[in-house]
Amino acid sequence: MGYRVVVAGATGNVGREMLNILAEREFPIDELAVVASSRSTGDEIEYGETGKMLKVRNIEHFDPTGWDMALFAIGSEATKVYAPKFAAAGCTVIDNSSLYRMDPDVPLIVPEVNPYAIDGYKKRNIIANPNCSTAQMVVALKPLHDFATIKRVVVATYQSVSGAGKAGMDELFEQSRNIFVGDPAVPAKFTKQIAFNVIPHIDSFLDDGSTKEEWKMVVETKKILDPKIKVTATCVRVPVFVGHSEAINIEFVEEISAKKAQSILREAPGIMLVDKHEDGGYVTPVECVGDYATFVSRVREDSTVDNGLSLWCVSDNLRKGAALNAVQIAELLGRRHLKKG
């Protein structure tokens, strides 16, 4: 006996990836519905690489009654309209938008980090998926925090354009092509040219000069991992199609060596340690695409602070940063609560 599952926003980058991962991981499904806006109604989309084609239904007319769970990848505005309707009908919503992440009645889950927190989902019948950059970072931080207690984190991100959706990927492609043929690279999705450039600006600016993306990393890390941890972030968009990277500096309460950190990370769930002190002995975004793991490289001690480490963290943002984490939440929900599969 399996689940009746809805994927909302199935025609977008993350929605398609959700379908791929549900198929790859052989999630126990009795019935699968794909829904999206009226623009996509009637389109067909493949369920992973199974050859099974699914017809897209209009989310406005879809009745969620009797469905077990819905994986949402439709953005905050649409989620605000449809998530409460699905939840009220008894269909648990696993939401990829930022709308509910900081709601105290909605669990914010990374299964390798805080699986127990999912037990509070019944208050709203909604579970939140964290920001893509936060998700990969807390997977790397969790086992180190358990050993030596993290005091402070300083992170600089190198975030791919797929984090801005299809429009972001199209803009990088089109600008790159235009530059090669001598045409102007006019920004539309991004605030400045993204091809052959980096932009230290993701999401809107806040009063203190930080951006909303940076704020998300701070508050979400505290909610998922530990409210006592101090976090400061600089989030940068880079001309990479898929795969987010992070340079993370960590200050611990207790002593921890680079060798011990490597040993801990090597055994940690969801982590792949690739850390050789040689040319190419580290992972870059190109190598992480399509993989489930969060890759950690360049682990080294920081002599400028007591009990400090620096490391490099890379992950496929469409997978661990979004779709994979959502499917892992669905698996966790099934194991701990619904218990059908």
Strand 126-128 and strand 271-273: the pairing is unpaired
Quote the tokens at residue 161: 């354009």
For 302, phi and psi rounded to 5 degrees? Answer: -105, 110
Determine whether the annotation assigns residue 175 to a binding site: no
Determine whether the annotation assigns residue 39 to a binding site: yes
Cross-strand bridge partners of residue 128: 95, 108
Q: Is 244 a catalytic residue?
A: yes
Q: Rounded to whole angstroms, how far apart are CA atoms 173 and 194?
A: 10
Determine whether the annotation assigns residue 40 to a binding site: yes
Catalytic pick among 91, 244, 288, 313: 244
Cross-strand bridge partners of residue 71: 7, 94
- Pick the closest to residue 73 from 329, 337, 339 (CA basis): 329
Catalytic pick among 91, 132, 235, 313: 132
Determine whether the annotation assigns residue 310 to a binding site: no
Quote the tokens at residue 130: 């964290």
Determine whether the annotation assigns residue 245 to a binding site: no
Determine whether the annotation assigns residue 13 to a binding site: yes
Determine whether the annotation assigns residue 162 to a binding site: yes
Q: Which residues contact 259 (CB under 8 A, 6 or more apart)?
A: none
Determine whether the annotation assigns residue 152 to a binding site: no
Q: Are 323 and 20 in contact (CB under 8 A)?
A: yes
Determine whether the annotation assigns residue 4 to a binding site: no
Quote the tokens at residue 97: 């938008």
Determine whether the annotation assigns residue 237 to a binding site: yes
Q: Is 288 a catalytic residue?
A: no
Determine whether the annotation assigns residue 328 to a binding site: no
Determine whether the annotation assigns residue 242 to a binding site: no
User: Residues annotated as binding site for NADP(+)?
Assistant: 11-14, 39-40, 162-163, 317
Residues at the binding site for substrate are: 159, 237
Known binding site: residues? 11-14, 39-40, 101, 159, 162-163, 237, 317
Annotated catalytic residues are: 132, 244
Which residues participate in the annotated binding site for phosphate?
Answer: 101
